[in-house]
Amino acid sequence: MARTVMIGNRKGGVAKTTTAVNLSYELSLKGKKVLLIDFDGQANTTSTYMLGDEEFYIGDALLDRKFDITKTIYPAIVDGIPQENLHIIPGRSGDVMTKLDMDMISLPRREERLLNHLNTIKDSYDYIFIDTNPGTSVLGLNAVIAADEFIIPTSYREKSIEGIEMFLTHIEEVKFIDESEIKFTILRCGLRRAAKREIAYGQSRTNTIWANQIANTIIWDKIIFFDAELAKLPVSKFSPKNEGAAYYRDFAREFDRNGK
Ligand SMILES: Nc1ncnc2c1ncn2[C@@H]1O[C@H](COP(=O)(O)OP(=O)(O)OP(=O)(O)O)[C@@H](O)[C@H]1O
Ligand SMILES: [Mg+2]
């Protein structure tokens, strides 16, 4: 039975998509069966792993209760090679996702549609990740309801810690639970080693509240992440020997162990 994990933060640009792309790849290399669903709206996950000519996308399943969700699943393409262990449900670019959101508003059980579809395929995967955007759309609500745990990337920069607080409050409201009942991991991403004051500030704020939820692995700021994104590749494929290639490999090991 898959661990279903939403990658979210109410703050934009904190490496949610970078985490989705790289963590899912590293886990698949470890032999885990991974499904990655793209709710982002910028469709970067989709453009990294797909050729762009896929017939179906996540909206087809969300709009139609009877639609066979397996038809929306495609093997990820990495460097031209279809991956056995990494599968994608593609999103579409912004306008299509906005329209999808609006079309879903009038549907019955509009917030449980992803959960219900995923229940039919959960046994086929070890991990299902949902990459989301910072908003609270109907799509976002579907992700919160479907997820049984959360990865919250933070840069420690301005508003990113507030983004964690807002996101946790949002999950409490949507799932009708207290923060103590939410299973989540805070992942520090894009930290600059030289920014000692920023790190000390972030550390002091997060450690007092969420000491046990912060991942040990730190994803430091490295230009290689931007370069790999441009090349539409996971970092460890783009430049296996780069120090940055080890970060998500280490986090994949840590995250996989956390679930045991
Ligand atoms: N560790 C890192 N070091 C340097 N740059 C990074 C790192 N992680 C991500 N980036 C870059 O930061 C930018 C934002 O990252 P990303 O798109 O993953 O954020 P996001 O949270 O998904 O944003 P959005 O809220 O818009 O969906 C990207 O250009 C990405 O390449
Ligand atoms: Mg994103």
CA atoms within 13 A on the CB side of 208: 6
Closest CA to 24 of 101, 126, 94, 109: 126
CATH number of the CATH domain containing 153: 3.40.50.300
**Which CA distances in Å does 238 have to 26, 82, 86, 249?**
13, 16, 17, 14
pLDDT confidence of residue 41: 80
Pocket-testing residue among 17, 167, 230, ligand 1, by greatest number of atoms within 8 A of Cβ = 17
- DSSP percent split of the chain into helix, strand, coil, nearest 5: 50, 20, 30
Question: What is the Å distance from ligand 2's center to 48 Cα?
Answer: 12
Instruction: Please answer whether residues 17 and 42 qualify as being in contact, where contact means their C-beta atoms are separated by less than 8 angstroms.
Output: yes
Placement of tokens 């906005």 in the chain: 98
Domain that holds residue 174: 3-258
Kindly give the confidence (pLDDT) of every residue in the chain, 260 residues in length, as a single tens digit, with 9 standing for 90 and above.
999 999 999 888 899 999 999 999 999 999 999 999 999 888 788 989 998 889 999 999 999 999 999 999 999 999 999 999 999 999 998 799 999 999 999 999 999 999 999 999 999 999 999 999 887 789 999 999 999 999 999 988 766 788 899 999 999 999 999 999 999 999 999 998 878 888 888 877 787 788 899 999 999 999 999 999 999 999 999 999 999 999 999 999 999 998 76
Q: Could you identify the atom of ligand 1 that is nearest to the CA of residue 226? A: 31
Nearest CA to ligand 1 atom 11: 226
Question: What's at 57, amino acid-wise?
Answer: Y
Q: How many domains does the chain have?
A: 1
Is beta strand 34-38 parallel, antiparallel or unpaired with respect to 149-154? unpaired
